[in-house]
Amino acid sequence: MGIVVTKFGGSSLADAGQFRKVRDILLADENRKYVVPSAPGRRDADDAKVTDLLYACHTLAAEGRAHEFEETFSAIRERYLGIVEELGLSPECIATQLEQARFAILSGMGPDYAASRGEFLNGLLLSAYLGWEFIDAAEVIFFDAAGRFDAERTQEVLSARLGRTEYAVIPGFYGSLPNGEIKTFTRGGSDVTGAIVARAAGAELYENWTDVSGFLMADPRIVKRPKRIHVITYRELRELSYMGATVLHEDAIFPVRMAGIPINIRNTNEPENAGTMIVRADESHVRGAITGIAGKKGFTAIAIEKNMMNSELGFGRRVLTALEECGVSFEHMPSGIDTMTVLVSDSAIAGRIDEVVERIRRTCKPDHIEVISGLSLVATVGRGMVRYPGTAARIFGALADSGINIRMIDQGSSEINIIVGVESADFERAVNAIYNAFLK
Ligand code: ASP
């Protein structure tokens, strides 16, 4: 086995007990050479994330609210020193850096600097606990002057640095600008750092450790105890995340996907569970099986009918131009011979529906135009459906058996996804009906 890069999320490093689990996981496999930690997350539902406290400190400092600043910073200090003490480490491993961070935030350093200290301090702590080298992300992860991630420079510097380091901790979430200032990725960005490190290390695997055992085939709030997805391709994941199922920061996919490195989503609290493997391609799937079901509420369909629409040059373009000119982006556009439906999200069309309809009437002169609101989309995703017949029949059969009326059907040309539109009142039942048709 080659190098494994691991990333641990905030809940995996929320207290000393979690740090112990992380160490056990890292030491259980000598190939786990580079670890990317998040900042300490919530220990329970009422707790605060250190990152949020740091953002608050920045705001309080900027507003000159010294007393509240000290109170909030004390909570952060206690959080780290509590972990240090419980793990039997010397406070010296982070004490100076903690006070430096306090001073810098008070002296007017920006919000990115403030927030990045969560990962920075946690990285120092973890490196002391493991006895591994600490590599400050500011020295190896770069952004350009416009604030865009500089993949080339990072790859060059980081891979050279890792080449000289056997075991190391690299804090997640931030890097530096050409002028040396700290810049963070968007929230949840430690996932991105992990992927960048995996690529630079030429890793065989990127393990993303969190508090769930991988992706589930459906939303557990809708389907009772849905099964886990064992293997999913990057493309399938893209389809499912578009429909609202996410565990991973979207930008985290690109560096590893490009390098062909699989991602394994694992659970720090259940390390014996193999989690979900995200891969480029997979031929081992079972005939007729699906990978997952996801869905979203809140769509409106604009259904347009016009005799001979089919042969009218530029008709589709005129419909889409009408939407564009009203500033409305569309989600799907299934069409028939003389019919065409444009699906938009309620939030995109809010307050503009009359204007859109009026424009379509004027520029396209349809025979009939109807607005259907209160729709939901349900996507059934599976790399197996492109090769085997019967998936659509099973979905439609299941919906028919449950008495659910299908208002729209869309199968993208990639054929790994069949999307149906149903009335929102039928949404939960539709997801369950499809799940049961494939899994029971
Ligand atoms: N700590 C950062 C956040 O809360 C980054 C991360 O956890 O990935 O967004």
- pLDDT for position 413: 66
What is the rounded distance in angstroms from the CA atom of residue 98 to the CA atom of residue 83? Answer: 14
Please state, in angstroms and rounded to a whole number, the distance separating the CA atoms of residues 239 and 80: 39
Pocket perturbation via mutation, ligand 1, pick of 120, 183, 190, 209 by most ligand atoms within 8 A of CB = 190
118 lines ligand 1 (CB under 6 A): yes
Q: What is the pLDDT of residue 217?
A: 93
Q: Is 173 in the pocket of ligand 1 (CB under 6 A)?
A: yes
Alpha carbons within 13 A on the beta-carbon side of 135: 26
pLDDT tens per residue, range 331-372: 888 888 899 999 999 999 999 999 999 999 999 999 999 999
Evaluate if residue 285 carries a pLDDT over 70: no
In this structure, what token pair is assigned to residue 255? 């560096």
Spacing, Cα 262 to ligand 1 middle (Å)? 22
Q: Which residue in this structure is represented by tokens 């347009």?
A: 304
Q: What is the mean pLDDT of residues 198-225?
A: 94
Say how many Å lie between the CA of residue 189 and the centre of ligand 1. 6
Q: Of 5 and 385, which is predicted with more confidence? A: 5
Task: Please tell me the distance between residue 50's alpha carbon and the centre of ligand 1 in angstroms.
Answer: 9
Give residue 286's pLDDT: 67
Q: pLDDT at position 321, please? A: 96
What is the average pLDDT value for the chain, to the nearest integer?
94
Lowest mean pLDDT among 15-24, 53-62, 240-249, 312-321: 240-249
Residue 250 confidence (pLDDT) above 90: no
Is pTM, for the whole model, over 0.75? yes
Residue 393: is its pLDDT beyond 70?
Answer: yes
Dihedral-angle region of residue 95 (phi above 0 means left; psi in -120 to 50 means alpha; beta otherwise):
alpha
